[in-house]
A and B are shown apart, each in its own frame.
Chain A
Amino acid sequence: MAERTLTGIGVTPLSGVGKVVWYRPDADLPEPPAPEDVDADAELARFDEARSVAEDELQTERARTAERVGEEEAAVFDAHVQFLNDPQITDGVTDAIEGGLPAAHAVQETFTGFVEQFESMGGRMGERADDLRDVRDRLVRVLSDGERVDLSSLPKGSVVVAERLTPSDTAQLDPKRVAGFVTVTGGRTSHAAIFARSLALPAIVGVGEELESVEDGTEVVVDGDAGDLVVDPDDDTKADAAAEAEVHVRSGPVETADGVGIEVAANVGTLADLGPAVDRGGDGIGLFRSEFLFLDRESPPDEDEQFEAYVEALESFEHGRVVVRTLDIGGDKPVPYLDLPEEENPFLGERGIRRSLGPDASLFETQIRALLRAAGSTDGTRLSVMLPLVTTLDELHEARERFESVASDLAEEGLAHEMPEFGIMIETPAAAFMADRFAPHVDFFSIGTNDLAQYVMAAERGNERVSELGDYHQPAVLHAIDATVSATEGHDCWVGMCGEMAGDPDLTELLVGLGLDELSMSAVTVPHVKEAVTETDTAEAEALAAKVLAADTKDEVTNLLTTDQ
């Protein structure tokens, strides 16, 4: 059979090969028996039992999702529990059972009525319809004793294909057995897409109704980069995909073809990211976003909790460096226990180091205590600390004084501690212009390209109308990076980069040519960037960088990068 390709939205830069397993949670129930053959009391008891089983499952999946994906995504399970116990729904199901339907059919009928009602209202109600459908399917599954596909025990190499995957569905998937998933509906920010990225699964969403034509057991290639689903792939396609899927994970340090070592590290935004960071071969952590420890909770983490989190990150790696960025919070990130003022433009307001030296001084002090103690722990020599959004030398000096004063407090208390390696983020034009003045005072720079591009170009990549401007291929952004690296010449100051740009393997040669010592990215692309490093020759890379820096426009830059590959 000739291969054919369906196209959707690819959500992870990964490919997988496997056999289709259709997941149809809303498959038809068998015809119900005649009402007189239904034992209403027994069915009511089954309904109660099923609700209690479903509630237990929801609590388990809530906890698992909070750990794997995050608190925000886990909160949806609270709404599910409320629908499960909703008096209108339980009354409706009870009436239907008393009217002669078995429990599963009664659940199906009652929920479907409400789903249709919500769907007809559109907008936000449509999302609630998804929640209701999710709860309905769970109850029906429990009541029909697992006659449906069990997502938690699929054969190895399964490609799960479904109309949609709900948070309940994805929480059951075992990433070790699933080769990928493909859905009819969904977009880049759907739950399923977020889930795929955090677990590094090949995935395509939003393929459309055409997906229905792909049958159970069909062999497919999921290209989560291009968004292509290749059905009945020929041997060449499979070999390509397998090569891609088997992107060689290098767990040791890598160097360029001519022997220059480049550190390739992972960014970590929750403790659950530590596993993938190691599994994908990260040399360490180039950006530990410590604010995640502070979000989605009623009170800040205390010193011991933070200390343990930093030590856990250090212990995940045998040798790698762990760069912790101190609290980076501003008006765009809600934190209930902080008095975050409403600001006209939070990205130009009181955020990052500005808050740590100002209103959040006591939080900052607690964080410093935890960091200094972690630096004094068994693996502590591998800890580095960096400050976010530094724009002036005063900020750097003041922050360092706080570290020193906390260190002398700890010494007086007789607590083990050390001064960690100390650096700053370069993410503002101010920091890039002043990089030569900062360099003598720090151990390293880490260039945060997402913010740097946004502040240099006065344009936000997330805003489609100006995303071309906010792109890191813009010459102005590249010159800011070059200026930063050049400013460290003659100083004992290494330069890293964290942000999406560092994780783009098409740019690795350029970044090596610009003189970066370290690249840090989401764990997913670590193997791709490591591979690109090994294929780079530094002399050629430097020549490429010189040509790229001579370019006048973004298009010229892009052309140079594509023709040179």
Chain B
Amino acid sequence: MERIVTVVPEDGLHARPASKFVETANEYDADVQLGRADSDDLAPAASMLAVTGLGVSAGEDVRLVADGDDAEAVLDALEDILSTPEAEH
């Protein structure tokens, strides 16, 4: 299951949004990967190092790929984080 999402938080996938993203990815029973929408390279969403290492900025599109029982739920939760402005975390 996959989804393309535009990153809204001003910090991009750094600092607190990244922290929240990784925390959430780890909460569900699913294997989640992410990468830039225009690239086939994927990194594990459960790894802070991998997520911040992508260096995704606000306004970029990312691809989320999830596999497992909670795939849909985890994608919903992660999409919510990525599409919520800075103020909300």
By the criterion CB–CB under 8 Å, are B49 and A83 in contact? yes
Check A218 for interface membership: any CB of B closer than 8 A.
no
Check B16 for interface membership: any CB of A closer than 8 A.
yes
Q: Please indicate the chain B residues that have their CB under 8 angstroms from the CB of A335 in the complex.
A: 87
Check B47 for interface membership: any CB of A closer than 8 A.
yes
Q: Please indicate the chain A residues that have their CB under 8 angstroms from the CB of B67 in the complex.
A: none
By the criterion CB–CB under 8 Å, are A114 and B18 in contact? no
Check A357 for interface membership: any CB of B closer than 8 A.
no
By the criterion CB–CB under 8 Å, are B19 and A79 in contact? yes
Q: Please indicate the chain B residues that have their CB under 8 angstroms from the CB of A118 in the complex.
A: 52-53
CB distance from A465 to the nearest CB of B (A): 22
Q: Interface SS of chain A: helix, strand, loop or mixed? A: helix
- Count residues of B near A (Cβ-Cβ below 8 Å): 22
Q: Please indicate the chain B residues that have their CB under 8 angstroms from the CB of A75 in the complex.
A: 16, 19
By the criterion CB–CB under 8 Å, are A336 and B87 in contact? yes
Check A86 for interface membership: any CB of B closer than 8 A.
yes
CB distance from A315 to the nearest CB of B (A): 34
Q: Please indicate the chain A residues that have their CB under 8 angstroms from the CB of B44 in the complex.
A: 87-88
Given contacts A78-B19, A334-B86, A124 and B47 within 8 Å (CB-CB): no
Q: Please indicate the chain A residues that have their CB under 8 angstroms from the CB of B15 in the complex.
A: 79, 124, 127
Interface residues on A, range: 20 to 34
By the criterion CB–CB under 8 Å, are A82 and B88 in contact? no
Q: Please indicate the chain A residues that have their CB under 8 angstroms from the CB of B16 in the complex.
A: 75, 78
CA A75 to CA B89, docked complex, whole Å: 11
Smallest CB gap from B84: residue in A: A336
Question: B61-82 CB contact bits vs A (8 Å, 1 = yes)?
Answer: 0000000000000000000000
By the criterion CB–CB under 8 Å, are A83 and B48 in contact? yes
Check A89 for interface membership: any CB of B closer than 8 A.
yes
Smallest CB gap from A87: residue in B: B47
A78-B23, A118-B53, A128-B52 are known; give 10 further A-B pairs, CB within 8 A.
A79-B48, A83-B48, A86-B49, A86-B50, A88-B50, A89-B49, A121-B53, A123-B55, A124-B14, A336-B87
Top 7 A-B pairs ranked by shortest CB distance? A334-B87, A82-B48, A86-B49, A79-B19, A124-B14, A78-B19, A88-B49
